[in-house]
Amino acid sequence: MNAPAVTHQLTDVVVGGTPLRPDDVVAVARYGARVRIDPAGLTRIAEARALVDALADDPEPHYGISTGFGALATTFIAPERRMQLQESLIRSHAAGTGPEVEREVVRALQLLRLQTLATGHTGVRPVVVETYAAMLNAGITPIVREFGSLGCSGDLAPLSHVALAAMGEGDVRVADGDVVAASEALAAAGIAPLVLREKEGLALINGTDGMLGMLLLAAYDLSVLLQTADVAAAMSIESQLGTDAVFAADLMALRPQTGQAASAANLRAFLGDSPMVASHKGPECTRVQDAYSLRCAPQVHGAARDTLDHALLIASRELAAAVDNPVITDDGRVESNGNFHGAPIAYVLDFLAIAVADVASISERRTDRALDPARSHGLPPFLAHEVGVDSGLMIAQYAAAGIVSELKRLAVPASVDSIPSSAMQEDHVSMGWAAARKLRRSIDGLGRVLAIEVLTGARAIDLRAPLQAGPATGAVHDLVRTVAGGPGPDRFLSPEIEAVTALVASGAIASAASAAVTKDNA
């Protein structure tokens, strides 16, 4: 599922200066923004490299510079074999298997590894940083396979496939999407293949860049989907003749949760000035309380918002990090460390998967209520045109239910698992890459479940005529009608679900509601 299209002019993203922002990563990874290296960063890189060169001449062994790796860290490597050592590391670790990883994910991990290299804490030469930047700007995307990272010692296999391409080996996709040999793509772009020296192979692969990149992309998408969830809930509440009184600001203040307040404010705005809501506010209405899936929408959506904020806090700290082992410290020491362990990222990836599953779950329950004449307060069964002959949206709800069931399975945390590797040297790993992969599937599923709720809400609004929807929900209804027809005899439904899903994913649904509120308040 793709997030909203960027409508403003993309500006260059500078690495090697201040830490990247989440939007910078999305701009480069998804929308092709160019990268530039801060000149001050190049100076730091050269200074750190001078320290590595000095240690390379030291007869005492130094990990990653004059020794083997992992369980072979005590093996001294003679100077004449060290170039081979670095190249062998990359070739052997480029062992990914399975489906090809999405282009935006690979570009994100390329950029994030470039950022760490540009900090001057990894000891690579300036040419390494310049090569990675040139590959991004040329649209050269190494082919990375889905399986191979345990989320500790870095995303080793994915990053190795990128490093292999920088060496002119393996396959890549070029800007037009074709698969070509890396050597051919580099030559066409005027980029010389890297010849790695001491420490550089290790520095290129010892990072958590893949899982962090996927976290940032997921957070960007989820922020749109949570806004859309509020829109979808408003359509359900309105068309099922629910009340907006429970979303009052003073009621929300009794439980001062930030996300809940934001979601409730959205619901008040999206339901404001709705003739449909106003039609049953009088004393003749005997309903005391709406069902939980309607009444508690801000509590669930708000908790997801707070979870997303926490994940972005962790991501912001990671964006300020220099993850490598060993690292060059500010005072010139070369020190081993464990900062490559992906636990901080893995935990929030799993946390978000839980929130995504629950937001989808409450959305599906609202959809189901609209289709059940015992609970929909006057709507026809399954919103069908001719009950008994037509099935209406019956199976659309099946699709939503099937996705929600899958999302519940994907909410099982990956980060609680660990399989020892490297002859027990790496005896506890984060599985953060796996957590990120399943979150991407979860985000896609949530968008589809919300699309089915929006499609259902739009049809239910039509069936309430002559009652009219409010400005915000009415604007969304009208947008849906540009890609999906209104009530009538059964027709091929899948294309309409896909078309509304595209509107959800693009951010168009959320934007239509927000624009209508802004216009109404102008």
Residues 243-257 as b or e (16 or more Cβ within 10 Å = b): bbebbeeeebeeeeb
Backbone angles phi, psi at 497, to 5 degrees: -60, -45
Distances in Å between the Cα of 504 and the Cα atoms of 7, 25, 507 are 16, 22, 5
Are 122 and 324 contacting, i.e. CB atoms less than 8 angstroms apart? yes
**The amino acid at 176:** D
Among residues 199, 223, 203, the alpha carbon closest in space to that of 156 is found at 203
Candidates 435, 307, 298, 419; CA nearest to 362 is: 298
Q: Which of 31, 63, 220, 292 is catalytic?
A: 63
Q: In one letter, which amino acid is 366?
A: R
Return d(Cα 497, Cα 38) in angstroms, integer. Answer: 46
Residues 6+ apart with CB under 8 A from 418: 428, 429, 430, 431
Using CA atoms, how far residue 308 sits from 74, 223, 258, in Å, is 43, 8, 12
Q: What is the DSSP letter of 508?
A: H
- Among 203, 202, 210, 441, smallest CA distance to 346 is for 210
Are 478 and 233 a contacting pair, CB within 8 Å? no
C-alpha closest to that of 72 among 476, 438, 480, 423: 423
DSSP-assigned states of every residue in 381-397:
GGG-SSBTTB-TTHHHH
**Three-class DSSP labels, 182-236:** HHHHHHHHCCCCCCCCCCHHHHHHCCCHHHHHHHHHHHHHHHHHHHHHHHHHHHH
Q: Are 185 and 140 spatial neighbours (Cβ–Cβ below 8 Å)?
A: yes
Q: What share of the chain is helix, strand, coil (3-state, %, to 5)?
A: 55, 5, 35
Q: 277: number of CA atoms within 13 Å, CB side?
A: 24
DSSP state of 179: E
**DSSP 8-state secondary structure symbol assigned to residue 190:** T
SS (H, E, C) 315-377: HHHHHCCCCCCCEECCCCCEECCCCCCCHHHHHHHHHHHHHHHHHHHHHHHHHHHHHCCCCCC
The yes-or-no answer on residue 31 being catalytic is no
- List the catalytic residues: 63
